[in-house]
Amino acid sequence: MHIPYLASDDAGACLIVDGKPFLPLGGELHNSAGSDLAHMERVVWPSLRQLGGNFYLSPVYWELMEPEQGKYDFTLVDGIIRQARKEGVRLGLLWFGLWKNGASDYVPQWMKRDHGQYFLFQRGDGKPVYTISPFCAKAVDLDRTAFAALMRHLKETDGEAHTVIVVQVENEIGVWDSDRDYCPAAEAAYCGEIPGDLAEAMSVHGNFEEAFGKRACDVFMSYHYAKAVERITAAGRAEYPLPMYVNAVVERHASRPVGAPDAPVHDIWMRFTPSIDFYSPDIYVPWFGDIVDAYHHAGNPLFIPETGAHKDACSNLIYAVGRHNCFGFAPFAIERLFMEEDPLDPYARRRGFQPDRISALCLKGTYGFLQALWPEIRKAHAEGRIHSYLQQSSDVHHAPGEVERRAKTFEIQSYRFRINYGSPEADEKTPTAAGMIIERGPNEFLFFGVNSSVTIEPREGRTGTVFVSDKWEYRLKEGSLVRGRCLNGDERETTGCSLAPGVFTFRVECF
């Protein structure tokens, strides 16, 4: 049977696992969770079982995999895979190699002690940044060799079972502390003629400042990080070509880490990393919709490997799937949503990591509804019959004594659908308004959303009175949608839902 791969059709991209489309919905484990198999058994898996996800991202730590140079220890990798099989879920592996969150925390100890051979990134004032420079070819070669060993081992041990279905290469590449690398090798490269392949690809010439002006530093670092990542990724693909991607922490443009594979430099990254299948955002900022709108473009489908595990996770997911056919979603530190709080855990009080049962149950419900609806959602995407919305910060305006909610409208068939947002974003308990409307046929619709409702009126230029009829609520039973209450009278008048995500079908008549 074919190994997992990324496919694309009129509906968009999806992962094919064991010959069937697979929608990964689960989460990313906390950074250190996978370093202790006993902790996974005792604490992590019991929490994850309550969420009901089908896919989890777990780190692979280079420093623990290669404690002595050239000697590999796959105990943790094999253990995580074995546990995942027991739980009946798929895995994605995060290669914490040379770069993780802009630093080199996870390189082996024998590399950390030798900054002569494995030299660091330097700021313009000469101060080093605690990350190995992408210009350090020796370090890139060692990462390349170790990553290839990991992929070779995966093929040998998981090539038939396909527990691991996707691999992230490095993690949040880029540096915040400088506009570029100023180490001697970088300085020579920046001041010299731009490389021939870059000059040809971008139809430019001269040095970086002459060729790219204000973009010079960003293009310079993006190009050299991309070239390093391509060397590493290509070696891994040669051993076992699972779908592979890179991720970027997303900030406003002025505070973006330099060199990160973020949307503004996708033209560089996509050109020089042909072994990478897609480029993903890590989203912890309120303007979620703007970010996914920027990341989903020609040649780059939307997969979200890291985001906040908070009250808005369910809302963000509904929008990402409804608007962009997002084919994977994994909030960070996912095990903490259902985990019993440990007062001695130093991370328990960090914002966003506290156990949150309401958010957990909303996310669990959203996962269940999406799995049940996914074939219909994909078909609706292919045929242009789906409409999605998300309330963002700009949609809520506070004034003395009042809150104005900006309405979103859709012109669908003969009708205007006016979206009514529920509680404002300032509400600390209620998910942000989000939803999707699927046209099932003439005058027949499905609504899936949270904290919002729909008012339907005749389309502009038409007259008449709109009447909603045959309205049904749906619930989940053993992974499938089953029809529940028939909603009439007062409940017929408002098509929508509040705290918990909900699914409804209805007909619209116009007299």
Which pLDDT value is given to residue 453? 86
pLDDT of residue 495: 59
In the chain (511 residues long), the average pLDDT of successive 10-residue segments reads 91 95 97 94 94 97 97 98 98 98 96 93 94 97 98 98 98 94 97 96 95 95 98 98 96 78 95 98 92 94 95 95 97 87 54 65 95 97 96 53 59 90 67 94 94 86 79 91 88 63 89 77
- Residue 239's H or E segment, with its range, is helix 216-239
Helix (H, G, I), strand (E, B) or coil at 428: coil
Q: What is the DSSP string of 296-307?
A: -BTTB---B-EE
| DSSP tag of 332 | B
Structural domains in the chain, sorted by start = 5-383 (3.20.20.80), 386-510 (2.60.220.20)
What values do phi and psi take at 170, rounded to 5? 65, -170
> End-to-end CA distance of the chain, in Å?
56
Per-residue pLDDT, 406: 56
Q: Are residues 249 and 257 in contact, defined by beta-carbon separation less than 8 angstroms?
A: yes
State residue 424's pLDDT score.
54
Query: Burial, 463: exposed, middle or buried (Cβ in 10 Å; 0-12, 13-18, 19+)?
Result: exposed
For β-strands 244-249 and 278-283, DSSP reports them as parallel
DSSP 264: G
Q: Residue 412 has what pLDDT?
A: 92
pTM: 0.93
What pLDDT is attached to residue 477? 92
Structure tokens given for 243: 């779908």
- In angstroms, the CA 218 to CA 206 distance is 16
pLDDT at 348: 53
395, 430, 472 from 400: Cα distances, Å: 17, 22, 39
Give the angle subtended at the CA of 222 by the CAs of 282 and 289, to the nearest 5°.
Answer: 30
The residues with which 410 forms a beta bridge, in sequence order, are: 417
Instruction: Give pLDDT, residue 450.
Output: 92
Buried b (16+ CB within 10 A) or exposed e, 11-42: bbbbbbbeeeebbbbbbbbbbebbeebeebee
pLDDT for the residue numbered 403? 39
User: Per-residue b/e over 153-170, b at no fewer than 16 CB within 10 Å?
Assistant: bbbebbeeebbbbbbbbb
pLDDT of residue 359: 86
Q: Write out the two tokens for 415.
A: 């009708």
